[in-house]
Structure 1
Amino acid sequence: MYDAVKKLRSVKPFDNLPDDVFELIEKHSKVKIYQPGTIVFSQYDEPTGYLYFISRGEVEIITETDEGVEITVDRRYEGDFFGWTPIFSDSGYTAGARTADEVEALLIPKEIILKISGKFPEVARYFSKSVFSRIKKLYQEVVKTQVLDPIAQVEAYPFQKKVSEIMSSPVETCKPEATVSEIARVMTLKGIGSVLVCDGVGKLLGIITERDLVTKVLAREIGVCLRDTKAKDVMTPNPFVISPDSYMYEAAAFMISHGIRHLPVVENGKILGIVTVRDLLRFRSQKTVLLVGRAKEAKTLDELKQIKKELIFVAKVLLMENRSQLETMEILSYIHHIIIQRCFELVKREMEINGYNFPDVKFAFLIMGSGGRREMLLGPDQDNGMIFEDYPDEKDEEVKKYMSIFSHKLVDALEYVGYPKCHGNVMVTNPLWVGRYSEWEKRVSKWIEVPEPQWVRYSTIFFDFVPLIGDGDLCNRLRDFIFKEVKENAIFLYQLMEVDYKHKVPLGVLGRFITSNEPDKKGKLSVKENGSIFIVDCIRMYALEHSIHNTNTMERMEKLLEKGVFNSVTVENLKAALEFFTYLRLKNEVELIEKGQGPSHYLDPYSLSKDEQEALKEAFRVTDKFQDSARRHFARIVGL
């Protein structure tokens, strides 16, 4: 024991730890001798609960293919570790371990290692970085095969580039007392179209553009003195600004919608640069960025319908770009949201023209499901609702009369634009999805306190709600109410888990895909309903348990990581699996639309390349392990 612990002191990440750490290890660990050819554990075994440190000998790390062929994927020698994956992740072994000769190993209990890593984070970081994330590697190999043609490369810029990468910096500034003649001279000499006006400590007060000089000075009546006119007299005060981590497409859409040509880049009150129309045009990607601006300015439903059809162009660029497919969903969702918002505004305006004014009450138009999570691809249907403030009863007839007309017009308009009606009738035309705040509280209480299967299904759609238009405070209050109800009715989360657990990933014991026998889906499987939905659902349950307001699945995972509910390895594996499911879904939807068919998440797994098939199997395995882990967790919290 002493010799083994002495060797441990000299290797990373233990080489700089204090003596009491090794006293703890020596007290609770044990040394074991293994004969040559001994299987210490296989990739299918339950975790032994030990971290293995080799103080003498050699160990082979072995894995088995779906066809039962054994492969040696790595070798570990004196001073190396093995068996750490189940200790620093929620998964089991990713491979087995077999001794190549006589091996002496120090077996350190899991609880001791976790206690040490809690006190010394460098230990956890060391092993977390070393975890064998097979799904991540497989996914990276698959996307490497995507080739982006030169034209698509040009069009990809607004999605690849952030504002910080294209902005002009440093920025020319002036004091409020600077004269217009001085400012005009600087613009001419430096060939710039704007100057920012700042106070003595660099705080942004306003902006002066060439247009300001023309309209506010030169176009005035004769007699204006350029020496006497100051920056503060002609500047546009409190100009619009954008953050440096915004994407180029967001900047372009913002500038188009507000009719501006210069947009300061500000972070925490500090001016970092400025983005101009000239900066945007340098990347020549007008077709894509203008799509967002066109949606915001659309005057008819026909315009919105055409824009919705053009989303496939954006999707193709994003797909070929080899970027994060989780970001791809956010970008597509951003455009979907703008289209839906504009549709709402056009219908509301039509109602006003016909003499129907929106009731004078606070409201929030909700979007739910994938829309609320910002995880929309090319074929989302409608999942929407409406929350009103608790207005007086005497207004009830007015509100209901308006909504009886408006809701049907809105749903029909969205369908016309390209968003099919929800098969489950989760829409504002259904009274179940419209109501005053207090009515929503009663409704949600019923779902949580009496978790019948139908209510549980409703809640999985509803709990991802966000306000697309209207008063966000109504939504925040309702979400806090939901968290309170969930805490008081823990059984509800278990019921959610049980409904989810009735469906499993479509992977057989021998590693073959299980496909559908339904006539229209024969030989296919759904990468959404049989894969990504399990990750989304389980993450939602953890988010409800820990009162996390975020609705996006990746953001929820990050919050759970911050709270210590998940570790970084779990998050990375789930993220890689979710990305690969999304990649396959988007690729499949694009191919179907280009063939003149509707988008679908059903595909023939055997039509995929060998690499894609292997990555899909691994994504299913990651999902299956996570689903099992979540079920055990939520069974424990209710004492089962």
Structure 2
Amino acid sequence: MGLINTLRETEPFNELPEEIFTELNQVAETKTFPAQTHIFHQHSDPTGFLYVIKSGLVEIVAQTPGGVEMIVDYRKAGAFFGGTPIFTDEGYSAGARAAKESVCYLIPGKLLTKISENYPHITEFFNKAIYSRVRNLYSDMVNHHAENTLTQMEAYPFKKRLSEIMSTKTVTCTAETSIREIARKMIERGISSALVCDKKNKLTGIITEHDLVAKVLARESSDCETSSAATVMTPKPHTMAPETFMYEAATFMIGHKIKHMPILDQDEIVGIVTLQDLMKFRSQKSMLLIGNISKARTVEDLISARVELVKVARALLSENRSHIETMEIISYIHHRIIQRCHDIVLAEMKRQGHEQPEIKFCFIIMGSGGRKEMLLGPDQDNGFIYEDFPDEKKEEVDAFFVPFADKLVAALARIGYPRCDGDVMVNNPLWRGRLKDWQERISDWIRVPEAQKVRYSSIFLDFMPIVGEASLCHDLREIVFAEIKKHPIFLYHMMELDFKHKVPLSLIGRFSLEKEPKHKGKLSIKQAGSIFIVDCVRMFLLEKQVEATTTTERIDQLVKLKVFNLETADHIKAAFEAFTFLRLRNEIELTDQGKFPTHYLDPYALTKNEQDLLKEAFRVASKLQDSTKRHFSKIVS
């Protein structure tokens, strides 16, 4: 088969016009490779050609850490190989060897790169191939891990049914009930959802605390008196029967990101189960962990609960499912501990005779906590937002909130949340203030984007309410969006700072390890990997003036906004999930050894498959960096 006919029938070249086929045919070389001849090795310098097989059979071979070559794929006539260095600026991901005498067309990479400028689907095709390796490697590794650890899981009550753990204390209402009335009932009964029913008492919808905040409180146009359940509810919610096994409900709810599940017996409402209910039974050793947090009366009680968290993490890690969801559950528990710590310290302040000023305030959490991406060793990143009270009230506010902040930071440190090295904590005056103080501060960071101010921003911009008046957070978010809209060049400076750091891979695909004594021979999965995905995704979202909490939710939003296509988004998620899995497993192992959990690990202690996964995830992060740089460089061009 001739080169032109081969390319006409081969994706991604089959969409090119005839004149391009003619040009490729004119410059392509033909070369014969005898049987068992290496066309190139995995760590060879790139030859600068894409190889298209005219006849024969080519083996794709990868090296193990011990230097042994393994055949991982075969390519037949009409297939191609060797494109990774041309389209990704990376070395070969594997070598190529002629299994029998093979004749190949050699197409110059420079010409392909030039053609791809007018036909970008070619580059996208090869990028997709790289990304797909990440997803496949990750799936294989997680499946292998699940097989090896399932038998080591803490006892899990698989035979427990929802009827044994569900709450029969439900609030019901009609579609016409006012939002204020629903909220009042939920507060009186101490529950976080209400079920909407028709005249025959059949379930038609559900309203949760999140619905009230997102659809009513966060919208200036909403009125609690005139808004009804029908305008806020989620219609036709998922339901389960009381005889459903607990593990089935847990898998379904986590997979569908559902926190409340109505329980129906032949269309009759008999109860409700929440994600928190299920978490209480995750492990017999850590049973009722979240319940214990809510009942804690002292900091010492929370220290005990914090220690138990690793047991929940270990059980969750052993399940064959999304580790992003595992991270969200861990973050949920951290948030409950931090909230309870706040309440305990506040009560102590009042017992000591401190009088709390009559102002609205919000205790915020930033960084990974603000993205719900905490693992086992998060430090503190927190602050206070106050409403805009008059200047003459400042002395009274400081008299209470300054010692409160000091006590709160100290208590969290005792529980197991280290003080932030950068002093991004509520006991630092820079991280508390009125809305107008925050506006002045943010405006300065964005208008005069010095390196330290940009670093502060990268932590601060992932803020969320943890306790207090959540509407202050919404107001602060609007301030951020307005300032960035006025000064979009700030995003360029964020990108510049991020781009000063690179993924720890050499040109030949070897890991670049730390040389400093503290972490010598290791690398940071967070600082050298996942943080690049977090930062780049955040920049795109800020540019679009859209709000989303977790990195994966942000990626989904960027797909809706057509910033990413579905394939690219899936592979970025796969890389992010791979970083999360490897980091969480490492943190659990360190905790079991009596060490503080950290994001540093020795990559050469991983299996070959895990090393390949980590390298591919790093490459995805690097490519996202490159795309981000190209995009935001346009601001100053």
| Equivalences for residues 411-450 of structure 1 within 5 A | 411-450=409-448
Q: Which amino acid aligns with 1:144?
A: N
Give the equivalent residue in structure 1 for 2:465. 467
Give the equivalent residue in structure 2 for 1:603. 601
Change (3 A) 1:534 1:272: farther
Deviations 1:487-516 (A, max 9, x none): 332322222222222222222233332222
Q: Which amino acid aligns with 2:379?
A: D
For 1:434 and 1:174, the matched residues in 2 are separated by: 40
Correspondence for 1:636 among 614, 634, 637: 634
CA contact (8 A) 2:370 2:462 kept: yes
Deviations 1:209-250 (A, max 9, x none): xxxxxxxxxxxxxxxxxxxxxxxxxxxxx9999964999799
Give the equivalent residue in structure 2 for 1:482. 480
Change (3 A) 1:497 1:300: same
List alignment gaps of at least 5 residues for structure 1.
15-20, 118-123, 176-194, 207-237, 253-261
Q: Shift in Å at residue 596 of structure 1?
A: 1.5
CA contact (8 A) 1:84 1:131 kept: no
CA contact (8 A) 2:155 2:284 kept: no
Give the equivalent residue in structure 2 for 1:214. none
Deviations 1:601-626 (A, max 9, x none): 22222222233223222222222232
Give the equivalent residue in structure 2 for 1:148. 149
For 2:515 and 2:122, the matched residues in 1 are separated by: 52
Answer with 431-440 or 82-91: which moved more.
Answer: 82-91
Correspondence for 1:330 among 323, 328, 331: 328
Correspondence for 2:399 among 401, 406, 410: 401
RMSD (Å), alpha carbons = 5.0
Q: Shift in Å at residue 317 of structure 1?
A: 1.0
3-state SS of the aligned residue for 1:468? strand
Q: Shift in Å at residue 273 of structure 1?
A: 8.0
3-state SS of the aligned residue for 1:145? helix
Q: Shift in Å at residue 408 of structure 1?
A: 1.1
For 1:471 and 1:89, the matched residues in 2 are separated by: 47
| Equivalences for residues 5-84 of structure 1 within 5 A | 25-26=17-18, 30=22, 32=25, 35-37=30-32, 74=73
For 1:281 and 1:569, the matched residues in 2 are separated by: 33
Change (3 A) 1:127 1:274: farther
1:137 aligns with 2:133: no
For 2:59 and 2:493, the matched residues in 1 are separated by: 40
For 1:6 and 1:519, the matched residues in 2 are separated by: 55
Give the equivalent residue in structure 2 for 1:568. 566
Q: Which amino acid aligns with 1:143?
A: V
Q: Which amino acid aligns with 2:486?
A: E
CA contact (8 A) 1:244 1:265 kept: no
CA contact (8 A) 2:451 2:497 kept: yes
Q: Which amino acid aligns with 1:589?
A: E
Deviations 1:93-113 (A, max 9, x none): 9679999447699x9965776
Q: Shift in Å at residue 26 of structure 1?
A: 4.8
Deviations 1:18-43 (A, max 9, x none): xxx98x94577646265344999x99
Compute the TM-score of the two structures, normalised by the length of structure 1.
Answer: 0.71
| Equivalences for residues 222-371 of structure 1 within 5 A | 244=238, 264=262, 274-275=271-272, 285=283, 287-288=285-286, 290-371=288-369
CA contact (8 A) 1:88 1:569 kept: no
CA contact (8 A) 1:59 1:75 kept: yes
Deviations 1:279-321 (A, max 9, x none): 9699785554511121122222111110000001011112222
For 1:95 and 1:607, the matched residues in 2 are separated by: 21
For 2:283 and 2:508, the matched residues in 1 are separated by: 48
Change (3 A) 1:529 1:280: closer
Q: Shift in Å at residue 466 of structure 1?
A: 0.5
For 1:573 and 1:478, the matched residues in 2 are separated by: 32
For 1:390 and 1:364, the matched residues in 2 are separated by: 12
Give the equivalent residue in structure 1 for 2:199. 199
CA contact (8 A) 1:35 1:103 kept: yes
Q: Shift in Å at residue 128 of structure 1?
A: 9.2
Q: Which amino acid aligns with 2:30?
A: Q
CA contact (8 A) 1:163 1:243 kept: no
For 1:330 and 1:369, the matched residues in 2 are separated by: 14
Change (3 A) 1:476 1:88: farther
Change (3 A) 1:614 1:197: closer
For 2:308 and 2:475, the matched residues in 1 are separated by: 37
Give the equivalent residue in structure 2 for 1:185. none
Compute the TM-score of the two structures, normalised by the length of structure 2.
Answer: 0.71
Deviations 1:464-501 (A, max 9, x none): 10111122222222222222322332322222222222
3-state SS of the aligned residue for 1:513? coil
3-state SS of the aligned residue for 1:35? strand
Answer with 565-574 or 522-531: which moved more.
Answer: 565-574
CA contact (8 A) 2:52 2:80 kept: yes
Q: Shift in Å at residue 167 of structure 1?
A: 8.6
For 2:261 and 2:3, the matched residues in 1 are separated by: 66
3-state SS of the aligned residue for 1:364? strand
Answer with 486-495 or 240-249: which moved more.
Answer: 240-249
CA contact (8 A) 1:136 1:577 kept: yes
For 1:263 and 1:357, the matched residues in 2 are separated by: 41
Give the equivalent residue in structure 2 for 1:453. 451
Q: Shift in Å at residue 335 of structure 1?
A: 0.2
Larger Rg: 1
Deviations 1:439-466 (A, max 9, x none): 1111001001101111011011101101
For 1:86 and 1:518, the matched residues in 2 are separated by: 31
| Equivalences for residues 57-206 of structure 1 within 5 A | 74=73, 100-101=102-103, 110=116, 133-146=132-145, 147-150=148-151, 152=153, 154-155=155-156, 198-200=198-200, 202-203=202-203
For 1:339 and 1:393, the matched residues in 2 are separated by: 34
Q: Shift in Å at residue 529 of structure 1?
A: 1.6
CA contact (8 A) 2:30 2:106 kept: no
For 2:438 and 2:547, the matched residues in 1 are separated by: 18
For 1:512 and 1:205, the matched residues in 2 are separated by: 54
Deviations 1:416-445 (A, max 9, x none): 211111121111111111111111111001
Q: Which amino acid aligns with 2:338?
A: I
| Equivalences for residues 549-568 of structure 1 within 5 A | 549-568=547-566
Q: Which amino acid aligns with 2:458?
A: T
Answer with 452-461 or 416-425: which moved more.
Answer: 416-425
Answer with 420-429 or 320-329: which moved more.
Answer: 320-329
3-state SS of the aligned residue for 1:155? coil
Q: Shift in Å at residue 567 of structure 1?
A: 2.4
Change (3 A) 1:542 1:28: same
Change (3 A) 1:132 1:527: closer
Across the two proteins, how many residue pairs are aligned to each other?
552
Give the equivalent residue in structure 1 for 2:506. 508
Change (3 A) 1:477 1:26: farther
Deviations 1:49-74 (A, max 9, x none): x9x999x8678585775999998765
Change (3 A) 1:460 1:73: same
CA contact (8 A) 2:116 2:122 kept: no
For 2:548 and 2:196, the matched residues in 1 are separated by: 36
For 2:122 and 2:522, the matched residues in 1 are separated by: 48
Q: Which amino acid aligns with 2:149?
A: L
Correspondence for 1:372 among 370, 373, 382: 370
Change (3 A) 1:70 1:547: farther
For 2:435 and 2:173, the matched residues in 1 are separated by: 50
3-state SS of the aligned residue for 1:510? coil
Provide the identity percentage: 47
CA contact (8 A) 1:515 1:522 kept: yes
For 1:154 and 1:198, the matched residues in 2 are separated by: 42
CA contact (8 A) 2:7 2:21 kept: no
For 1:323 and 1:303, the matched residues in 2 are separated by: 31
Change (3 A) 1:285 1:377: closer
